[in-house]
Every structure is written in structure tokens, then in C-alpha cells.
Amino acid sequence: MSAISPRTTSLHDRHLAAGAKLGDFAGWQMPLDYGSPRGEHLVVRGGVGMFDVSHMGQIEVSGPDARALLVRGLTNRLAAIGPGQAQYTLMLDDDGGVIDDLIVYALIDRHLLVVNAANRAACWARMEALATGYEVTVADRSDEIAMIAVQGPLWERALGPLVGSPAPLGLEYFEVTEDMVASVPAFVARTGYTGEPGVEIMCPWDLAPRVWDALACGSTPVTPAGLVARDTLRTEMGYPLYGNELSSARGPLPAGLRWACDVEGLAFAGAEAVRRDLEDGPIERLVGFIFDAPGIPRPGQDVLVDGSIVGTVTSGTLSPTLERGIGMAYVAAGSATPDTEIVVDVRGRPRPAHIVRRPLVARSPRND
């Protein structure tokens, strides 16, 4: 039996034309880079870049009990947002393990969950299972919605000539509006995964090439960037990635995500496990670290303090901004203090490093 071919987004032809190096990611053939991951990273930090993130899943929840279901299914305090706002949150299993981290968008007549590509089916199944007894409709819109992230300090200059009104340019962080982008109907959200200012544009699947072309050919051209740059950007920010820092094997508190949990109400599925972590304290914590000598850390490598293994690297890379090895790791809670000196075993070669607070690189002051 032949293997299932990876899926492609509606922008696949654009990636090929731009000379992208493609690779499999969560069942999708996605652009890894367009020739220079470092250059793509730096243009997002200093100019403006765009990412095809159409592989992400979109789950729509509507109906009279939609909000009640989401209070049950998601960890953050949904009452804190209303129509036109978004919120970072988590979905847990009954044992408190993370099914996914996601963003929920509160729209006028429904809510839209943007979930990780690898967890689309699991999130939909979880919502369907929890929906019993609620008057709601849970619909998977992933095959209908394309998504383009425009990130970097020049995002307003690039997007401004393409929108139908000033509304998208006036969005506050984690707000969303409906507008036209390059004459295409779209939701424009002031969200992103880079630490730089910008927006994520959600539009009809088959019309995404029109938006992409308009961004690429505008008066302030937007540089395409691939998943490699997306990963180095998020690692510099200390943002967790599902499958690396987050999984069903751990709850949100060890990852430092107590802020994304309604610990007062504790009404969400999986809350009992979170309650236990609150009472007992996590035995390990997610930390950031920076190398003090040349070397590049990679996931799975041991972290040592005074010769004893205290944890494991979950993400590691060479930071284009710092030009040093950086990463994240889960370490024993007693070794998680900033400035703690550690050693990372890089293929049998010890590399000195020290623990730092996240983000590892200062978040852009323009992103507020």
C-alpha cells in the first residue's frame, strides 16, 4: 500500500515559484525556507515577512450554548473577552494533559478556534464529545479557510494600501475585525507567533493567492518566510510548540501557563489535575537557556547541573538575533532559577549555558 501524500495549501504554486524548499509537516507539504532561513528571520525582526499558515485547523462553535461549551472545553477565562477579541487558551484531556494550545476568536455570532495542524482531529473530537447536552454546532472549517501571517515592524505600511478601511490598522493586541484585504473578504486578527507586531489574515481558501500576491507586490513588498524562520523566531520568544514543550504527558503549569488557566473557577475539563499541581507544585518547570560557548542545542539532549542530569532540552537552535545557541528545556523545579549554570550534553560534548527568563530575546516594544 502506498503512503498517503502530504496535503498542500492553496498557495503551493506560489511557494514553488519562489523557490521554496518544501518539507512534510503534520501531513502537509510546507515551505521550510526560501533560500535563507536566517535572512527570513531577520527581515521579520526588522522589516516585514509573511508565512503561509493555512495548514492550521479552524473549528467553528456556534449556537445558544456555544460559550458555555467553551468554558467547559477551554482553560482560560472566556468571560474576559467579547466579540472582536481573541484569547490564548488550552484544551486539556480529563487527566489534565494538553490536547492543544490554541487561540479562540469571539466573533459576533460564533466562536472560531484556530488549532495546531497536527491536533485538528483531536480538538474537533474533544469538542464533539464535550458537546453532549449543549445546544451547539461544532463544525470543522479548516478546508474552507486559508491563513497568512504578516509579521514585522513594517506590517502596517505593507497592509495599509490593501485593506478596505482603517479598522485593521487600529486593532489592539488580540483583537479581530472583518474587512476586505486585496478585495478579498477576510478576518484580520492582531495575533502572531513571532514576538513582532503584525496580523493573521483568514480568508476563503481559494482566494488566498490573491492576498499573497498583493502582499508580495505591494508598495512595501512582504518577504515570504518559511517554517524554519518561524521556529527560530518563536524559540527566541520562548513560545511553546505542541509536540516539543506541550503534550498530553504534561499539564499547563509546568510549562508556565498558569496565566492561561482560570484557576479561580476551575470549571474546565481536566481542572482536577491542574488543582493538584496548584496545591503540590510542579516537579519540573520549563525554562529558557542561552549557551555561553559555541554550539547548537537540539531536542532530547540532557541538561546537567553539577554533573547530574536534571532535565531535557525540548527546543534548541542557533539564534539569528543573538548569534548564540539558545533553547528551552524541562528541568527539575529546584534547578529552574534564572542564572543557574547548566551544561547541555551536545552529542557527548558538554556545552556550558545558563538559565534565563523567557522571552530569550526582548519582545518588540511595538507589539502591544
Domain boundaries of the chain, sorted by first residue: 12-56+144-235, 57-140, 283-361
| DSSP3 helix / strand / coil % (the chain, rounded to 5) | 25, 35, 40
From 2.170.190.11, 3.40.50.1370, 3.40.50.460, 3.30.1360.120, which CATH number describes the 12-56+144-235 domain?
3.30.1360.120
- Please state the rounded mean pLDDT for residues 217-230: 98
Strands 49-52 and 223-224: parallel
DSSP-derived 3-state class of residue 42:
helix
Measured between alpha carbons, how far is 140 from 212 in angstroms, rounded to an integer?
Answer: 24
Q: pLDDT for 254-291, tens place per residue? A: 999 999 999 999 999 999 999 999 999 999 999 999 99
Q: What is the pLDDT of residues 178-187, one digit of tens each?
A: 999 999 999 9
Is residue 105 predicted with pLDDT exceeding 80?
yes
Estimate to the nearest angstrom the gap between the alpha carbon of 35 and the chain centroid.
23
Cβ neighbour number for residue 228 with a 10 Å cutoff:
20
Give the mean model confidence (pLDDT) for residues 15-39: 98
- Model-level pTM? 0.96
CA distances for 77 relative to 13, 82, 264, 316, angstroms? 41, 11, 9, 32
Give the confidence band of 1 by pLDDT, cuts at 50, 70, 90: very low
Output the CATH code of domain 283-361.
2.40.30.110
DSSP assignment of 248-278 equals TTS-TTTTT-GGGS-TTT--STTHHHHHHHH
Class of the 57-140 domain?
alpha beta
Q: How high is the mean pLDDT of the chain?
A: 97
Entry field: residues in the chain: 368
pLDDT at 151 over 70: yes
Q: What is the pLDDT of residue 366?
A: 60
In percent, how much of the chain has pLDDT > 70?
98
Q: Do domains 57-140 and 283-361 have the same CATH topology?
A: no
At 155 the three-state DSSP class reads helix
